[in-house]
Amino acid sequence: MIALLRRDLTLAVRAGGGFGLGLAFFLIVVILVPFGVGPERELLTQIAPGILWVAALLAALLSLDRIFALDWEDGALALLATSPLPLEGVALIKAVAHWLTTGLPLAFAAPALGFFLNLTPEGYVPLFWSVLIGTPALSMIGTFGAALTVGLRRGGLLLSLLVLPLYVPTLIFGAEVARRGAEGLAYSTPLILLAGITAGSLALLPIASAAALRVNLR
């Protein structure tokens, strides 16, 4: 499993799907928002948690179609299906690799970029924890979507349409944690719910992803 994780991390960086792409997109969205909504500091403070979470969600979408695509093209996915490592483990490792190259860098960058949207200092820590805890669910859901669409031509658009509705609960609770923290309110309840979504995704979706891969490999 460690060897597969190391291989996926190397391929993600070499193929251009590393953390740099997601961070660049994240930065561009955060910089463009004030030009679109205006420079009013109060308005930016109000919308900052939601905008930062939407930007993180869209940044996570950028490399989803590459999770299984490279292995499908070179035949490595068929070999992985016959290896001692079960496909459930393969799907989980793929999700972990995606999170390490996208979600984890975004979690550390989000508080810094919140400065551009006039996020209150009280919101930095809740925003960090919400992105850190919520993005694994985005990666696991995206891995499930990638397993459903692997082998399809131009499956990127279909993949986005499949996973975006599944991202909504994570987006709601993640943004709520950041919003409550920015307003100085208690945010433990939405944070626990967010952690529950992540835990449920990591427990159930590897099984669903493996089933989808078996169907597509037949």
Q: What is the pLDDT of residue 18?
A: 55
Residue 67 pLDDT greater than 80, yes or no = yes
Query: Among candidates 11, 110, 10, which has minimal Cα distance to 60?
Result: 110
Query: Among candidates 63, 47, 212, 34, which has minimal Cα distance to 135?
Result: 63
Q: What is the pLDDT of residue 160?
A: 86
Query: How is the chain split into domains, by residue range?
Result: 2-217
Q: What is the pLDDT of residue 175?
A: 95
Averaged confidence pLDDT in the chain: 87
User: In the structure, what pLDDT confidence band is assigned to residue 99 with cuts at 50, 70 and 90?
Assistant: very high
For 186-204, the pLDDT digits (tens) are: 999 999 999 999 999 999 9
User: In the structure, what pLDDT confidence band is assigned to residue 16 with cuts at 50, 70 and 90?
Assistant: low
Residue 96 pLDDT greater than 90, yes or no = yes
Average pLDDT over residues 32-43: 85
- Nearby residues of 174 by Cβ (< 8 Å), 6 or more positions away: 53, 130, 131, 134, 194
